[in-house]
Structure 1
Amino acid sequence: MVSLLEQITADLKDAMKERDQIKLNTVRLIKSALMNEQIKVEHELNADEELTVLNREKKQREESIAEYTKGGRTDLVEETKKELAIVTNYLPQQLSAAELAKLVATTITAVGAQGKSDFGKVMQALMPKIKGKADGKAAAKAVQDQLS
């Protein structure tokens, strides 16, 4: 199996050959973020740490899209959406709403949650199971919906 860093390096070469400037810049930024994190933690990144970096990159672009939309900068919105699609390619397959709801239900049963006061307990047990596979906001909403 190819490591994430090897895949990114290969994609970087492909983007150079294709002269795809957006892909090239985005992949460079991802590689840079991964290398910076590796320097910070002083060891090779494991899959969870790589996932954390990728999620951070994804979140930055989602926030940028929201800001650019508010500011009426449609040119930047389109470019950032392309970057977001590139970042998303490196993330694991996302859970569907039904899969997330099912996972929330089993987690609620596993921790013995009775009501809204157990929200934190459910989220604490749920988050490691969905890391990188679902958005935290979507998970929180699903938990709230099932606890009410």
Structure 2
Amino acid sequence: MVEQNASLKERLQGDMKAALKAGEKDRLSTIRLILAAVKQKEVDERIMLDDAQVVVVLDKMAKQRRESIAQYEAAGRNDLADIERTELLIIQDYLPQALSEEEVTAILQAAIAEAGAKGIGDMGKVMALAKPKLQGRTDMSAASARVKSLLS
């Protein structure tokens, strides 16, 4: 394990080495997938990602895994769903601590107040304010649905 105040990328690289030494094949392959996705984004955008941007990549990967699990289960392919579940658990290790329903609602209500939102037409403004606080810590589609219900 890498020290706690290390960047997320440094932590991933340290954990990859540890998984390699320990022979943890699932963890090693998932961390390599994460690092490849981070590197791809850096190359595509010609930037070095900070922790917040790495969390966005992780959040996207977690969402993809959740969608794949649902599709594999619907198709009766539990073997493939189990692989996706394992990857999702490892990805979630690197995401910030999940927020409770109450915390998400409080953040959304604060964003509604800050945006001066009056109705559904202001949903984009609210989500723009709330997204940085929620990214990687809750399901953004569920948060969006909650904003819609709070504004209607």
TM over 0.5: yes
Partner of 1:86: 90
- The offset of 1:137, in angstroms, is 0.9
**Aligned residue among 10, 13, 16 for 2:14:** 10
Counterparts of 1:41 and 1:76, CA distance in 2: 32
Q: Secondary structure at the match of 1:139?
A: helix
1:41 and 1:134 map into 2 onto residues whose CA distance is 26
Q: Mean alpha-carbon deviation: is it higher for 125-134 or for 4-13?
A: 125-134
Give the TM-score, by structure 2 length. 0.88
Shifted more, 77-86 versus 56-65: the winner is 56-65
Shift of 1:7: 1.1
The answer on 1:72 being equivalent to 2:76 is yes
Shift >4 Å, 4+ stretches: none
Give the paired residue count: 148
Alignment of 1:34-113 (within 5 A): 34-113=38-117
User: 1:30 deviation in Å?
Assistant: 0.8
Q: How far did 1:117 drift?
A: 3.1
* 2:29 paired with 1:29: no
Structure 1 distance, partners of 2:35, 2:128, is 30
Letter matched to residue 51 of structure 1: V
Q: CA deviation at 1:41?
A: 2.2
For structure 1, list consecutive stretches of 5 or more residues without a partner in the other structure: none
Query: d(CA) in 2 for partners of 1:76 and 1:64?
Result: 9
123, 127, 132: which is aligned to 2:127? 123
Flag structure 2 segments of 5+ consecutive residues without an equivalent.
none
Equivalent position amino acid for 1:24 in 2: L
Matches of 1:44 and 1:121 in 2, distance apart? Answer: 28
Q: RMSD of aligned C-alpha atoms? A: 1.6
Does the aligned pair in 2 maintain the 1:54–1:87 contact within 8 Å? yes
> TM-score, normalised to structure 1's length?
0.90
Q: Percentage identity across aligned positions?
A: 38
